[in-house]
Structure 1
Amino acid sequence: MSTFRSRCPHGFFCYFNVLKSIGGNCINFKGPCMHWLKRLRILVATTLLLPAGAGAIGSFNPSAAELSLLPPYCGPRAQRWGNDLDRPEVQRWRSVFGSDYFHMHHYCQGMLLLLRGDRQPLDSREATGEYEAALNNLEYMESRASSGFVLMPELYLKKGRVLLRLNRDHKALQAFRQAIELKRDYVPAYAALSDFYLDRGKPEPARKVLQQGLEIVPDAGILQRRLAEISRDQGNEATQAEEGTPAASEPAATEPPAAPDGNAAE
């Protein structure tokens, strides 16, 4: 209010007219007041058009049902006492995450908005708004977290999934690779990266990703199953060619046995 008055020489009268103009009873006037009127109109219009989740960085207020779908460390961050170091719940997660705990509501909010976006119609304005807000929160956590943040590979994985939903494939690919670079045995990132290629009709890059993951985690069932599915879909011929085994030949045609009366069998 003080900033507005300092730039509008008409003081309260100008402010009153701006409020009236927003309500639809615009009084024509010029000068600095018109400048502020235009800015306020844009601000109000933008606010009304944004979906509920958009831009809500840090406002972590899930329902009980939503909270049950999130990791347990999100629970204290949804409470007013979430920063109270005297609470056992806070002490527990503070000992796990260190100072990163105090930014965790952004990470939890990002996961929550991803869930909310998935409940919206595909490619709708509401879904896009939720995903954009989710990305904002995840990137905030990424920028504030310490270099040793234990959930950073998981954060990159979730960031990649959000970026896919926003049709930003190149950045999603980068996020999946960053997750693997940070944690070489992070099986979900290999699975997500292979799915990325498969969904775009590129089975060979997907196969290589799965093989790389299995070299590090040989007993990863999820990677084994995906690799088996690729081999099955490509058919026995591709599998045999990769293994260097010749394809089975068709049995040679044989003459039918002679009939007892010496004539050829029908």
Structure 2
Amino acid sequence: MSDFIRGFLAGKIGSTSEWRREAASMLVPESQIPQWKKRVGPDFLHVHHYCFGLSWLSKAEDPENRSRAAWAYRQAVGEIDYTRSKSRPGAPLWEVMSIDYARALAGNGQWGESQAVFQDLLADNPSNSDIWVAYAKQLKRRRKLNDAIALLEQGLEKANKKGPLLYWLAIYQFDLGDLTRAAETTARAEAAGMKVDSLKRRLGRTAVPAAAD
């Protein structure tokens, strides 16, 4: 669980009897609950629905749960949408929650709505590398590999953290069969601080050049 969700649950559990307060302390210390309320702001009151949504999203994306994935995606959309409807752009959880909402929408077959969420997020904060990567992953899931690559290349011009974009760009270039470019991008990702051992193993005999200073 994310720390803010642990804080919410600890506050809920600890609001009644002594044994429940003791159980809550296993989530986060009681002293930290006011800090999370302050950091999350008004969204804290509704954040448990986002928590439920994340749980459903995890189930939906679990390969062992394919038979119930569609139902789990619908549950994720509804739960995350509830918390998001009580929030606003600029709130502490807005961007990460909206990314997860877009993932749930895409899984639920609402691709147009998912794209609109991603595009709104990028319009507001193009420097956030998490948005570019999450959007590219959804394009890849829809078998739009070239679009995912183009998106990540566009993001490299705007995102503050280049490493995650380079990492996924190298993977998608490898998936496309462009091993030379994948090797070059792997070197750039490594120079940006990413761990690329698995990428190097996938590339096999394709030499990964040293990144230029």
TM-score under structure 1 length normalisation = 0.53
Give the CA deviation at 1:201: 4.1
Q: Distance in 2 between matches of 1:157 and 1:199?
A: 15
Cα offset for 1:168? 2.3
Alignment of structure 1 residues 171-190 onto 2, 5 Å:
171-190=113-132
Q: Cα offset for 1:83?
A: 6.8
1:114 equivalent among 57, 60, 68: 57
1:9 corresponding residue in structure 2? none
Distance 1:235 1:222, change over 3 A: same
What amino acid is aligned across from residue 212 of structure 1 in structure 2? Q
The 3-state SS of whatever aligns with 2:149 is helix
One-letter code aligned to 1:102? L
Structure number having the greater helix percentage: 2
Which structure has the larger Rg?
A: 1
- C-alpha distance in 1, partners of 2:90/2:70? 31
- How many residues align? The count is 166
Q: Which runs of 4+ in 1 moved over 6 A?
A: 236-239
2:103 counterpart residue number? 161
- Percent identity reads 21
Equivalent residue in structure 2 for 1:139, among 81, 86, 111: 81
Cα pair 1:117 1:131 within 8 Å, conserved: yes
What residue number does 1:194 align with? 136
106-115 or 211-220: bigger deviation: 211-220
Q: Check conservation: 1:153, 1:178, Cα contact below 8 A.
A: no
In the other structure, the counterpart of 1:206 is 148
- AA aligned opposite 1:77: F
> What is the identity, as a one-letter code, of the residue corresponding to 1:168?
Q
Q: Which runs of 5+ in 1 are unaligned?
A: 1-69, 240-266
Query: What whole-Å deviation, never above 9, does each CA across 1:178-217 have from its counterpart, x for those lacking one?
Result: 3323322221221122233334443443233112211123
Q: Report the AA paired with residue 224 of structure 1.
A: L
RMSD of Structure 2 on Structure 1 (CA): 2.9
* Structure 1 residues 76 and 193, CA gap change in structure 2 (3 angstroms): closer
Q: TM-score of the superposition, structure 2-length normalised?
A: 0.65
